[in-house]
């Protein structure tokens, strides 16, 4: 009974600690140096990566990750680790998890839907998605913002 109680306490403590862990719910989450979306990018964290929450600052969580400390937008994290659905290619997926992938609104459902709706231009959408994909917009579009005095570069301006 004593042993059981000890197990209870240990498990309860570990569960309590688990509440401080959140999981990346986007394909690539940007780990930032400061609590600002225009801040320096430290790393891109893959889907389902666990991070330890150290604190909250506005719409950002201060987090500890394998890549070090930094900030992540609140909206990019979830308290629950996302499930693996069929054909999911993103994130930290172990082989065990991949074999137990479950059904959901996923690539598998889309594939079935495409067969039933062959006139929908998914090929165009795929091309559009490839052309517009940008996991790191604060770096890729920095010149665009600088030229337009936008984001981190806004310092007043002139009337045209």
Partner 1 sequence: MKTSSRFLLSLASLSLLAGGCATLGQAVKVGGQLSGYHELEDMGGSMEKASRDFTEEEKYYIGRTVAATLLADTPWKSAARLTTYVNGVGSTLALASSRPEMYRGYHFAVLTGKDGNAFACPGGFIFVSAGLLDICRSEDELAAAMAHEIAHMVLEHPVQAIQASHQREAAASLVKFGLRKAGESQGELQQLTGVFDNVVKDVVKAVAQGYSRDKEQEADLLALDILIQAGYHPQALADLLGRMAGHSGYHGDPKDRARKVSEALASRNTPALWSEREKRFKQISGHI
Could you tell me the smallest distance in angstroms from the CB atom of residue 64 to partner 1?
Answer: 17
| Count of residues in the chain | 160
The number of residues that bind partner 1 (CB under 8 A) is 80
Please say which residue, 2 or 160, places its beta carbon nearer to partner 1.
160
How many angstroms separate the most distant Cα atoms in the chain? 80
The site string for partner 1 over 131-150 (x = CB under 8 A, - otherwise) reads xxxxx-xx-xx--xx-xxxx
Among the listed residues 22, 28, 31, 35, the single contact to partner 1 using CB under 8 A: 28
Run of H or E residues at 2: helix 2-18
Among the listed residues 57, 59, 68, 69, the single contact to partner 1 using CB under 8 A: 59
Please say which residue, 66 or 147, places its beta carbon nearer to partner 1.
147
Residues 6+ apart with CB under 8 A from 139: 41
Identify residues 73-132 at the interface with partner 1 (CB under 8 A).
Answer: 73-76, 78-83, 85-88, 99-110, 112-113, 116, 119-122, 124-125, 127-129, 131-132
Among the listed residues 8, 34, 40, 55, the single contact to partner 1 using CB under 8 A: 8
> What is the three-class DSSP state of 52?
strand
Could you tell me the smallest distance in angstroms from the CB atom of residue 33 to partner 1?
Answer: 15
Distances (CA, A) of 29 to 74, 96, 125: 11, 24, 23
- The secondary structure of residue 155, as a DSSP letter, is -
Beta-bridge partner residues of 64: 52, 69
- 31, two tokens: 């780990």
Could you tell me the smallest distance in angstroms from the CB atom of residue 69 to partner 1?
Answer: 19
Could you tell me the smallest distance in angstroms from the CB atom of residue 57 to partner 1?
Answer: 13
Distance CA 52, CA 61 (A): 9
């Amino acid at each position: 009974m004593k042993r059981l109680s000890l197990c209870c306490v240990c498990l309860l403590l570990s569960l309590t600690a688990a509440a401080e862990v959140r999981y990346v719910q986007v394909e690539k989450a940007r780990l930032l140096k400061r609590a600002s979306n225009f801040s320096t990018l430290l790393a891109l964290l893959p889907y389902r990566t666990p991070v330890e929450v150290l604190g909250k600052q506005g719409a950002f969580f201060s987090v500890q990750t394998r890549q070090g400390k930094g900030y992540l937008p609140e909206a990019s994290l979830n308290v629950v680790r996302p499930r693996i659905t069929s054909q999911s290619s993103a994130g930290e997926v172990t082989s065990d998890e991949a074999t137990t992938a479950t059904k959901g609104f996923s690539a598998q459902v889309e594939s079935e839907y495409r067969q039933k709706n062959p006139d929908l231009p998914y090929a165009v959408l795929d091309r559009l998605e490839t052309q517009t994909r940008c996991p790191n917009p604060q770096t890729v579009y920095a010149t665009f913002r600088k030229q337009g005095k936008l984001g981190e570069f806004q310092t007043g301006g002139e009337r045209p």
